[in-house]
């Protein structure tokens, strides 16, 4: 039976994609994944890529391929999925472990719909090869059903697509950059979901293939745990110029990339986890500030409400609004609104203004997005629009001591929690720090909430009359947090 490494050189199978000598380093990994013997030169390459002294003698159960951009990861991922669902079935006889009427699947889970379409394009092209084409029983929207009773599915990273299935192999494409509207750690969630789905299939294989990002998440955890160590979990770390010699390190493109942004280039092309990006706040800190079951709080007559809006044009980002009020030494979050695109900005402004008036609010603060239009539209509905004095990074920075000290009373809103926990602290060249969402993530709700909390802190700082004299509320924690920035 033909091996995977042989199939990648066979012109009737995957050879048209991998025949060139620039795929030479990949051929070493093609063998190592399935426990094929390596010659002396191949073993030296393997040791350099994995930090291991010996190559696997059996197929691995998990492989985590940490490779720079332009290494050929997507097309490799598609070929592995195609091989395991066809020739792999003949070698490992996956069907014997399926019950009658059950269809086993090879799943390729991508970072987003666009990336899934790229991988699906490769897969469909591979199944136009005559030897593979005859195995297609049905081409469906997100994959291919095969005559051997198996199927290949290409979709986004959603744990619901994994649960209740029998998975004979899974490929996690660009797993370091997975994001989800409903989870701050979709990589870990999908991983935990797929392991039971593969548990009844001997020789089932899980492959994660990605460029690295920050020192967090599933890919980094597996790297820390398994890199350079023997066992059935193989971790590879290889820069672009090693996996794809057509982009040499001293060439014009990569030289310019490293000159422009060394930290970014070291991750994107050098396959090094970023040391200039760290998590902003832990889930434990945020959840400690959440009042369980509090979805929204009604207006209280003696409260002084503040509101912050994150506008959007209605085509890409959500438009969000947060309302809060100071209560003693706490900032209490009262209401959150989010409208996802597509939407009419005019109708959303009208809706938000109605909510603001219900809390007795006549003024909203927001950023400088899109120039004058948010200010005009809010004014048209009787709400003054003030420009925020600080950029969002400063709002997040001001919010952190309030969260850490438990001086925020937040609503029970999963999307808010996930966005706050998903924020990243980045240090740019020159030492300037910024706080923003991760790649492919969102922070529209988080920005509005941070703005509303900041307004409560600012309100607490303002001078007030006390027995005929004026003094600042120096004992108020909001005042100390605000003044310390």
d(CA 143, CA 326): 53
Q: Residue 70: what are its φ and ψ, rounded to 5°?
A: 65, 30
Q: Where are the beta strands (DSSP E) in 275-362?
A: 277-279, 306-310, 319-327, 330-339
Q: Where are the domains of the chain?
A: 4-275, 283-483
Tokens found for residue 19: 């025949």
Confidence of residue 276 (pLDDT cuts 50, 70, 90): confident
Helix axes 24-33, 40-50, angle to 10 degrees: 80
Query: Residues 281, 302: contact at Cβ < 8 Å?
Result: no
Q: Is 291's pLDDT higher than 80?
A: yes
| 342 upstream amide cis, omega within 30 of 0 | yes
Rounded Cα–Cα distance for residues 194 and 420 (Å): 27
pTM over 0.85? The answer is no
Taking each continuous run of H as one helix and of E as one strand, the counts in the chain are 20, 19
What's the fold here for domain 283-483?
Nucleotidyltransferase; domain 5 (3.30.420)
Give the pLDDT of residue 482.
36
Confidence of residue 320 (pLDDT cuts 50, 70, 90): very high
Least Cα distance to 167 among 156, 153, 157 occurs for 153
Mean pLDDT of 93-104: 91
Strand partners, 278: 425
- Say how many C-beta atoms besides its own lie within 10 A of residue 416's C-beta: 22
CATH superfamily of 4-275: P-loop containing nucleotide triphosphate hydrolases (3.40.50.300)
Span 61-75, average pLDDT: 95
For the cut 70, the answer to whether the pLDDT of residue 78 exceeds it is yes
What crossing angle do the helices spanning 373-380 and 345-358 adopt, rounded to 10°? 50
The answer, yes or no, to whether residue 57 has pLDDT greater than 50, is yes
For the chain, what percent of residues have pLDDT higher than 70? 92
Task: Give mean pLDDT, residues 464-480.
Answer: 40
Tokens 């390459």, residue located: 45
pLDDT (average), residues 305-323: 89
Confidence of residue 478 (pLDDT cuts 50, 70, 90): very low
Other Cβ atoms within 10 Å of 294 Cβ, number: 15
Could you give the CA distance from residue 387 to residue 366 in angstroms, rounded to a whole number?
5
Using only the alpha carbons of the chain, give its radius of gyration.
27
Phi-psi domain of 112 (left: phi exceeds 0; alpha: psi -120 through 50; beta: other): beta
Q: Work out the burial of residue 373: count CB atoms within 10 Å of its CB; fewer than 13 is exposed, 13-18 middle, 19 or more buried.
A: middle
CA 273 – CA 221 distance, rounded (Å): 11
Q: Which long-range contacts (CB under 8 A, 24 or more apart) does 196-202 make?
A: 197/162, 197/163, 197/164, 197/165, 197/166, 197/167, 198/167, 198/168, 198/169, 198/170, 200/97, 200/166, 201/94, 201/97, 201/104, 201/166, 201/167, 201/168, 202/92, 202/97
DSSP letter string over 178-218? ---SS-S-HHHHHHHHHHHHHTTSTT-EEEEEE---BS-HH
pLDDT given at position 68: 96
Distance CA(230)–CA(463), nearest Å, equals 65
pLDDT in tens, 186-205: 899 999 999 999 999 999 99
């Amino acid at each position: 039976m033909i091996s995977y490494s042989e199939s990648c050189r066979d012109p009737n199978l995957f050879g048209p994609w991998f025949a060139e000598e620039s795929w030479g380093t990949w051929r070493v990994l093609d063998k190592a994944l399935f426990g094929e013997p390596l010659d002396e030169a191949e073993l030296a390459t393997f040791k350099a890529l994995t930090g291991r002294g010996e190559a696997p003698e059996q197929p691995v159960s998990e492989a985590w391929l940490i490779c720079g951009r332009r290494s050929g990861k997507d097309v490799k991922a598609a070929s592995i999925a195609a091989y395991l669902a066809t020739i792999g079935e003949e070698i490992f006889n996956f069907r014997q472990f399926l019950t009658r009427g059950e269809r086993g699947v090879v799943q390729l889970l991508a970072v987003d719909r666009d990336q899934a379409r790229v991988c699906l394009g490769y897969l469909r092209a591979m199944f136009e090869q005559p030897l593979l084409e005859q195995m297609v029983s049905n081409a469906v929207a997100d994959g291919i059903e095969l005559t051997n009773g198996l199927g290949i599915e290409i979709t986004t990273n959603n744990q619901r697509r994994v649960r209740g299935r029998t998975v004979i192999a899974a490929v996690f494409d660009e797993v370091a950059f997975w994001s989800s509207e409903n989870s701050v750690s979709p990589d870990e969630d999908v991983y935990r979901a797929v392991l039971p789905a593969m548990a009844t299939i001997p020789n089932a294989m899980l492959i994660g293939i990605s460029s690295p990002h920050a020192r967090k998440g599933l890919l980094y955890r597996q790297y820390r745990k398994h890199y350079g160590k023997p066992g059935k979990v193989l971790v590879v770390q290889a820069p672009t110029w090693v996996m794809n010699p057509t982009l040499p390190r001293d060439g014009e493109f990569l030289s310019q990339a490293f000159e422009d942004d060394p930290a970014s280039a070291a991750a994107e092309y050098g396959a090094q986890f970023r040391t200039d990006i760290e998590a902003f706040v832990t889930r434990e800190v945020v959840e400690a500030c959440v009042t369980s079951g509090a979805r929204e709080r009604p207006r209280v007559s003696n409260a002084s409400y503040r509101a912050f809006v994150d506008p959007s044009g209605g085509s890409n980002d959500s438009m969000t609004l947060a309302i809060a009020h100071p209560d003693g030494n706490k900032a209490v979050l009262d209401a959150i609104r989010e409208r996802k695109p597509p939407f009419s900005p005019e109708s959303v402004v009208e809706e938000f203004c109605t909510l603001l008036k219900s809390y007795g609010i006549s003024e909203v603060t927001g950023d400088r997005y899109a120039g004058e239009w948010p200010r005009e539209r809010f004014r048209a509905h009787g709400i003054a629009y003030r420009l925020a004095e600080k950029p969002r990074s400063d709002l997040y920075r001001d919010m952190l001591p309030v969260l850490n000290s438990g001086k925020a009373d937040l609503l029970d809103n999963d999307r808010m929690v996930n966005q706050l926990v998903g924020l990243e602290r980045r240090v740019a060249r020159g030492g300037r720090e910024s706080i923003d969402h991760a790649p492919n993530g969102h922070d529209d709700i988080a920005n509005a909430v941070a703005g509303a909390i900041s307004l409560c802190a600012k309100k607490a700082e303002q001078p007030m009359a006390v027995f005929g004299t004026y003094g600042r509320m120096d004992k108020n924690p909001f005042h100390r947090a605000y003044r310390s920035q």
